[in-house]
Structure formats: structure tokens, C-alpha cells
Structure 1
Amino acid sequence: MTEGFDYDAAFSRNLGWTTADEQQTLRRSRVAIAGLGGVGGVHLLTLARLGIGAFSIADFDRFDVVNFNRQAGALVSSLGQPKVEVLQRMALDINPGLALRAFPEGVGDDNIDAFLDGVDVYVDGLDFFAFAARRAVFAACHRRGIPAVTAAPLGMGAAVLVFMPGGMSFEEYFRLDGCDEEEMAIRFLLGLSPAMLQRAYLADPSRVNLAERRGPSTIAACQICAGFTATEVLKILLRRGRLVVAPRGYQFDAYRNRLATTWRPGGNRNLLQRIGLWVARRQLARMKKATEAAR
């Protein structure tokens, strides 16, 4: 423990929105975060400032210049360094008393049990295209009865889904079995944001290429994701406040000043979703043709 640091004093300004007893509940709680990039890193730092006392964090990647526009730990001083080490130092600089378990090899079948051991809530921070790891972690959370929260940074806003024990699972909602990676990407994107509020102001569609695993992102969206996620985690851990649980979700877009709540019984099997997926596939095909013609 660093001399002069006092947990109660450090997080006393949370009180009022939490009670003293609730703050101690947060202190005793463990949150797991897989992926410490655009959203994962800011999730960790936001939840650390909320007063969460223990984390399990996983990421195998290192910081690069292309991370600078959005990732919390991306600095000139951290170039080339492992993300998990950089974010661990930053979190401990907020609360030296944190109980941190780091998984620098990322998360997979060989360590998923250790990663989720003693975890109260899982927060998804994996790269958009990390489908194998994401499916494995959400499936393990569903088996173990661990609440799981995912918030996608889309445009200049966030789309949020919460999966609770006994409720609809990630697989039941997104229905990714038997899909190639491009189809998974389409189903994941539309499942996250059935309202697709961000689509109206995409300035350069050529920057979206699902086949090449690339798309635009903003720090505004990552920061909004962190605020929503921290609030959902707080409600789950303190067992108060209304939860919007899958197949219900919501999307807030700051650019358009709009909030959309969605309900998709059956997830991507829902008729509205199937129509949306058909439209999305056609739009993607047109974008591909336009990009190829411009080359």
C-alpha cells in the first residue's frame, strides 16, 4: 500500500450516489475484463475510479501508434509495451490496494477457468473481430452464472447489451454458429445495434472493410461506453436500479442526440433482424464494389 493512500478518502466523492456500505461492496467485488484496447482500457480505469477492488485482466497485444486515437494506455512512453502491463500500472496508480490478476497471454480455453475464478461481473473489451475468444468467454460466463456486459463503440456513441444468469445467452442472441467471419461480423454488428444510429453520418464508407478486419473508431465512443458499462456494473453488483437485459438493449448516439431502446425476441432469428441482415449484406456488397472501382 502506498503511503498516504486511503481507500475511504480516495472514493469518498462516490458517496451520495452510493452508500458507505455499498461502496464497500464495490471494494469487495471482482470484475474481469478481456481486452485492454479501445474500450477495455478505459473500462478498467473507470471501474477502478468507481472503487472496484479486484480485477482479472487479459490482453496479449502491445501498444502501437495506430492505437493513439482511442486507447487509454496508448502514449509515446508506452509504445511497444504490453497493454496488460501498462494498464495494470495505471490502475494501481489510481488504487494501490487493487487485487489484480493479469493474463498477458490473453484469454482462451487453457486459462478461461482461472480468468473467471471468483469473478462477479465480466466486461467485454475484446477487439470487434475476436469472435472465437468472445464466444468462449461468454459461453463460460453463461455456464458459471456470471453476468456479462458488452458495450460497443459505434460512431460517436455506444450500444449496450447485458446478459444475466438464467436469461438469454450470447449464442442464443447472436446465432453465430456455422458462419464465416464476415457473416459473424455482420450478425455481431447488427445484433449490437439493431437501430444502427451511427450509419447516418459515416463520412467515408471506404474505411469500413469487414473482410480486412478494419473500421473507424473514436475516443468519444470509447468514453461513452465506459460510462454506460460502469453504470451497468454498479447496478448488477449493488442489485438496484433497472437492468435492460438481452434480448433488450439500448444505443445512445451523441452525434445525433438520440437514444434508441430495442427488443429483439429471438435475437438475430427475429424477423426484423433477418430483414436487417439481408439489407446489411446488400449494402456491404455495394460498398465492396465501390471500393474496388475506386482502386
Structure 2
Amino acid sequence: MLVCWLGQLTIYQRLDCTVGAAGMALAAVKPPSYMELFERNLGVLTEKDQERVREARVMIVGVGGMGGALAILLARTGFTRFLIVDPEVYEASNMNRQICCFIDTLGKPKVEVLKQEILRINPEAEVSVLQKALSLEEVKQLIVEWKPDVVAAEADDVAYSAKVIRIATQMGIYAITGMPSGLMGYVMAFPPFTKHTPEGLFGLPENLSYKELHDTVETWENRCGRRWYIHKGKWRVPYWDEWRYGKRPVTQLAPMVWFTACVTAIEILKYIVGKWKLITAPHVWLLDPADGKIKVRKYAEGRLFNKYALKAFSIKPFDIGRRWRRAALKILSYQLKMWERKQLKEDAEAERRYQERLRAKEEGLKKSLHEISEK
């Protein structure tokens, strides 16, 4: 058990750490040694690199789609010290993307299931779990007590994750987040004491409280600015239209979520071993596999809209704000119709290709059957 600080804090419903012999109880026989498990890493990493990985302390806030996949990837890379935080249990809607969601884990706490999966990979791992929604002050207190080397902010609440990142970097901790959406994703990393913030990258004011930032990010106007969800993330226009009114959740696919988690894990590995080029703010990874684009560049999506358009909506003299809002809605309406027509054309082309595949498959099978029968 973690006795050094568990008794000092009363905020926790549960904080559990399973190590050594307790973890080995999961195996019927003595498990392989650490180096036996991860010796294939030594084709890229030195033994000293691997030891740094082994000793690194990783705190993950939010272990649903991104956070859960990230934890498993890090565990398979040889990371052994985890603190995972999430208040939720698995639900049926998690099945399409969350790596530890199975029929037999529905209704179970995400942190507990993930802990067992990490221990199945490496029984000697130290996995501390906290099934609780933390306030930002509690996050700060937890960082002070647990002393992570890396904080991964993967809560669904964008404003909350942004504030967790700022807390971590201000305390000299490397922080990172991966943000998949549809068929696109971003990975943003923030080194210790950086001047850059998630809010700054998004083009939002950097002096907002958590509540102010949350309310700003979740407004109908702000969501209207995230039109790249359609043309980059390939969201269906009707779905996006319902989402901007708060009627639908962010759409996600397992391949994109796990792909984003893979890039996030690589950036963490690079930071811990101290090798290779780190990608840090204001530069981000842009993952756009649907259009065959994976690149590093400065974050730009929605930045100008957030920085200028949202402010213009509130200008009262001469009714400028209302007029600008009306004009912006007309532009948005035109764009949505254009994108929907494009999607319908893609649907028609997809149907044509599908029928071609069926015919090619049928012809190929007939030909093969004929050749087999003649033998």
C-alpha cells in the first residue's frame, strides 16, 4: 500500500496499489522477469533507456477510450508505475472504442478493470487507482503527493483536461493529451514550465476559470466553429448538426482512438528516454488518415474563429454582433449543404465500388471452383 501519503489525504474513495507478490498471484506459475518480457525493446532502446521507462511514473486522468488505450500501450512498452483516475464504470456505449470494455466488464469500474489488464501484462507493475471525479485542487494535491514524471489529461471534458495540463506544467511536469474525433486526431504535448497552454492554442482567453472555459467550449457558437470535424474528421453532416445542439456525443472510432493513443505513447516514450525530437506546443501532431495526411504543424483549427468571430458576436453598438451572427449562420448553412451533397456523392460512389467488389469476388470464386472441378 502507498502509506507515505494515503493517510494524509481524505479526498479519496479508493486508492489501491498492487505490487510484487500480490500482482504475481494473477499467474499460476512464476512469471518471466521484466527483461524477459521486454527484451525485444532492446533493438531500439538501450538497457539504460529501458530502466528509465521502468522507473517512470505516469499519471493518467481519464481512462476511457484514449486513456485506457494509452495505459495498455505504455504497459506493453515496459512502463510499470501508474496512477489512473476515472470515476466511471463501463457502459454499452463504450464498446466501440474502449480497449478494456467487454461484455463481462460492463458495469465494472474502468480503473479496476484497467489495473487488472496491466497486471496481466506485467504482474510486477505498480498500479494505483482512484475511482473519483477530482476537483482541480485535488488534482494539484495528488501531483504533489505522487510526483509523476508525466501527466496525461484524457478526460472527456476538454476544459477540465486543459486545466489539468496547466496545473501539471506549472509544477514542472510534462503533460500531454490526445484528442481523436471521427477519423482525425491531434496530439498536443506541453513541456515543464512552458508558456503555451491548450486555451492559447485554441485561440481562447487564457485567464478564464474552469467554469468559464467549460461554458465557452460547450456553447452552441463554439461548436459551430468546429466545422473541421466534418471535412477532416468525416462526420456525417446530420450527426454534426445534432451534436452542435447538444443532442449527440462526439463520434469516435476505435482505430482512430487507438492510433491517436499510439502517437501519444511514442511522445511519452521519447520524453522519458530523452531521445529523438519531441513535438511540443505550439506544434502538434495532426492525424488525418482518411485523406492520407499525418504531419506536424502549428495548431490552427478553429483558432481564428475562437479568437475573433466569437468576440464579434457580442458587439452591441450598431447591432454589429447580431448582424455578424446572422451572416455567419448563412455561411454555415451554405457550407453544410455543400458538404452534405459531397457526402451523398461519396455514398453513391461507395455503393458502386461495393457492387464491383461483389461481382469481382463472385467471378473469382466461380473461376476457382471451375479450375478445382477440372482437376
Normalising by the residue count of structure 1, what TM-score does the alignment of the two structures yield? 0.83
Q: Which residue of 2 aligns with 1:206?
A: 238
Q: Which residue of 1 aligns with 2:277?
A: 242
% same residue: 24
Q: Which residue of 1 aligns with 2:217?
A: 184
Q: Which residue of 2 aligns with 1:108?
A: 135
Cα offset for 1:109?
3.1
Change (3 A) 1:190 1:153: farther
Q: Which residue of 2 aligns with 1:293?
A: none
Q: Aligned pair 1:51/2:86, yes or no?
A: no
Report matched runs for 1:1-295 at 5 Å.
1=20, 2=24, 3-116=30-143, 117-127=146-156, 129-131=157-159, 133-167=160-194, 168-174=196-202, 175=204, 177=208, 179=212, 181=214, 183-185=216-218, 196=228, 199-200=231-232, 202-208=234-240, 209-210=243-244, 211-212=246-247, 214-263=249-298, 271=304, 274=307, 282=329, 286=333
Q: Measure, in 2, the Cα distance between the counterparts of 1:143 and 1:215.
A: 30
Is residue 156–residue 198 contact of structure 1 (8 Å, CA) maintained in 2?
no
- What secondary structure, in the 3-state scheme, does the structure 1 residue paired with 2:290 have? coil
Cα offset for 1:75?
0.6
Cα offset for 1:49?
0.5
C-alpha deviations, 1:209-240, integer Å up to 9, x for none? 14346121100111101210111001111111
Q: Which residue of 1 aligns with 2:341?
A: none
Q: Which residue of 1 aligns with 2:3?
A: none
C-alpha deviations, 1:32-51, integer Å up to 9, x for none? 11111111110000000011
Normalising by the residue count of structure 2, what TM-score does the alignment of the two structures yield? 0.66
Cα offset for 1:185?
4.5
Change (3 A) 1:180 1:31: closer
Q: Which moved more, 1:177-186 or 1:33-42?
A: 177-186
Q: Measure, in 1, the Cα distance between the counterparts of 2:182 and 2:123.
A: 34
Flag the structure with more relative contact order, 1 or 2, with Cα contacts below 8 A and sequence separation at least 6: 1
Structure 1 residues not aligned, in runs of 5+: 291-295
How many residues align? The count is: 283
Bigger proportion of residues as helix:
2
Q: Measure, in 2, the Cα distance between the counterparts of 1:284 and 1:64.
A: 38
Cα offset for 1:203?
5.0
Is residue 35–residue 125 contact of structure 1 (8 Å, CA) maintained in 2?
yes
- What secondary structure, in the 3-state scheme, does the structure 2 residue paired with 1:11 have? helix
Structure 2 residues not aligned, in runs of 5+: 1-19, 25-29, 313-323, 338-375
Q: Measure, in 1, the Cα distance between the counterparts of 2:290 and 2:42.
A: 31
Cα offset for 1:243?
1.4
